[in-house]
Amino acid sequence: MAKAVAAGIPAQRVITDPDSVAAYRHDEAEWAPHGVPLAVVRPRDTEEVRAVVAYCVEHRIPLVPRGAGTGLSGGANAVDGAIVLSFEDMNRVLRVDPAERIAVVQPGVVNDDLRAACAEYGLWYPPDPASSPWSTIGGNAATNAGGMCCVKYGVTRDYVLGLEVVNGLGEIVRVGRSTAKGVSGYDLCGLLVGSEGTLGVITEITVKLRPARLPERTVAGYFDSVVAAGEAVSAVTAAGVVPSALELVDRHCLAAVDAWKNMGLSTDANVVLLGRVDTPGAEGDAEAAVLLDCFERSGASWAARSTDQQEADALFEARRLAYPALERLGPVLTEDVCVPRAAVPEMLARIERAAERHDILVANIAHAGDGNLHPLIITRPGDEAAAARARLAFEDILDDALSLGGTVTGEHGVGLLKMRGMDQEVGPAALAMQRAVKAALDPHGILNPGKVVVSGRALV
């Protein structure tokens, strides 16, 4: 098999050694099942990707695209007998066009590396998942990743203009555009963003850029409970202010970050709410004052506008490091529910009740400004009873989010962990439509099979 694949690309880019292949078997989703792939292929260009896809189509071999493996839903997990297509070597920023404010990149480009390349031209790529120092643009596009600033600036789909993909027939296809506007036919580019590699293999991405962002003002507040912090989020929404970030971090997360990085962060408060505004001039000052007032009226035990940029940046860095810090303590099952902003306090209360009901530790971080909550369900290594309770709490949180008019995934994707919740959320008629799209674009069922929408067509 390896020799046959290598006929289309250089043999050194085909990995079959079991120890080396093992590192590509799964992403970071705790307890998501995974199989044993036949091989890992690391292509360098689109033609090599096409050759691999064509081989898999011909022989009906499952193909699993993989970015940096930072996913949290099992979307990049291998199935038995699959070829894992790793994009770590397709990592070039191909072009930055400052006049058109676009960039063209390969899928293996790390999010922060794209941002750095754009900054050289005074431009900015806004989507900023907490994993931006490690996650790739291809993976971000596959899951429609968001991040801290998406409350004001939107998610990945809002910035992807065009894609080059290899479809389920092994054909190279371009969808979308590079112009500011365009409505020729169906929005296949928007369809592919968020499809988790089940409809096509992304080989090139054209993204739109913004001018370099303006300086931000930071407001921090300490709260005695996550519900009180949630009330502050609702107050900010009601006040009509759109912050550039509004993040929630509880004491479990801050303590874990401090123990890991020795950042000297206070853990006196049960919850810290971090708000930022980037509107210039007096209007921005007024918005920061509104955030501060909302925090105080919602019961903050302490709230202030930061005058120390280094301190403010340290708090946001702690938010970014929360997940890997907690992961060092034991297995972490990560939620990704999103609810209407008015429902944030009630959802946070239900998360607390789920933790109590199942006798499990749940830490909380959140893109609170847009209702995207990330409860982190933590267990001790080897504690199978706790792992079983964690799974029950996970499912209860999904059900609670749906009952409040929310969604089971805001930005991490469905993958393997959220398929039951997705079925419940979208309903049978819409699910049938999605399966029809999957069958049309991947008629042989080889592209990331068993994920998101399970097709009725088996590999034959």
Using the 8-state DSSP alphabet, how is residue 24 labeled? T
Residues forming a β-bridge with 372: 338, 367
Q: Is the pTM of this model over 0.85?
A: yes
* CATH 3.40.462.10 domain locations along the chain: 217-403
CATH code for the part of the protein at 217-403: 3.40.462.10
Predicted confidence at residue 295, as pLDDT, reads 98
Among candidate residues 322, 334, 332, 321, the one with its CA nearest the CA of residue 381: 332
Tokens of 432: 């049938």
pLDDT band at 4 (very low <50, low <70, confident <90, very high): low
- Alpha helix ranges (H) inside 133-264: 137-143, 150-153, 188-192, 226-239, 251-261
- The alpha-carbon radius of gyration of the chain (Å, integer) is 22
Supply the pLDDT for residue 460.
35
Quote the pLDDT of residue 459. 38
Nearest one of 265, 244, 245, 242 to 255, comparing CA atoms:
265
Reported confidence tier of residue 309, pLDDT bands at 50, 70, 90 = confident
Whether residue 57 contacts residue 443, with contact meaning beta carbons closer than 8 Å, is answered with no
In DSSP terms, which residues pair with 274 in a beta bridge? 220, 247
Q: pLDDT tier at 264 (50, 70, 90 boundaries)?
A: confident
Helix (H) or strand (E) holding 118: helix 111-119
110 DSSP assignment: B
How many degrees, rounded to 5, is the angle at CA 304 between CA 301 and CA 310? 125
Helices 226-239 and 344-357: crossing angle, nearest 10°?
Answer: 160
Instruction: Summarize the confidence of residues 324-334 as an average pLDDT.
Output: 91
Q: Which CATH class is domain 2-86?
A: alpha beta
Which own/partner contact pairs does 178-186 have at CB distance under 8 Å and 24+ positions apart?
Answer: 178/100, 178/102, 178/104, 178/206, 180/100, 180/208
Domain limits, CATH 3.30.465.10, in the chain: 93-211
Question: Which tokens sit at 122?
Answer: 């005074």
Give the pLDDT score at 266: 64
Of the pLDDT bands very low, low, confident and very high (cuts 50, 70, 90), residue 259 is confident
Q: Which two tokens stand for residue 326?
A: 């907690």
Q: How far apart are CA 138 and CA 46, in angstroms?
A: 13
- Angle between the N-to-C axes of helices 419-441 and 384-403, in degrees from 0 to 180, rounded to the nearest 10: 70
Q: What is the pLDDT of residue 1?
A: 58
Find out whether 254 and 266 touch, Cβ atoms under 8 Å: yes
Kindly report, as residue ranges, where domains of CATH 3.30.43.10 are found in the chain.
2-86
In eight-state DSSP terms, residue 140 is H
What is the distance between the alpha carbons of residues 114 and 205, in angstroms, rounded to a whole number?
12
Average pLDDT of span 284-312: 94
pLDDT reading at 6 higher than 90: no
- Look up residue 49 and give its two tokens: 């990707």
Class of domain 93-211: alpha beta
pLDDT at res. 2: 58
| For residue 16, pLDDT beyond 80 | yes
Segment 402-424 mean pLDDT: 96
Q: How many CA atoms lie within 13 A of 192 on its CB side?
A: 30
Using 50, 70 and 90 to split pLDDT, how confident is the model at 458?
Answer: very low
On average, the pLDDT of the chain sits at 94
- pLDDT tens-digit series, residues 106-142: 999 999 999 999 999 999 999 999 899 999 999 999 9
Distance CA 114, CA 60 (A): 35
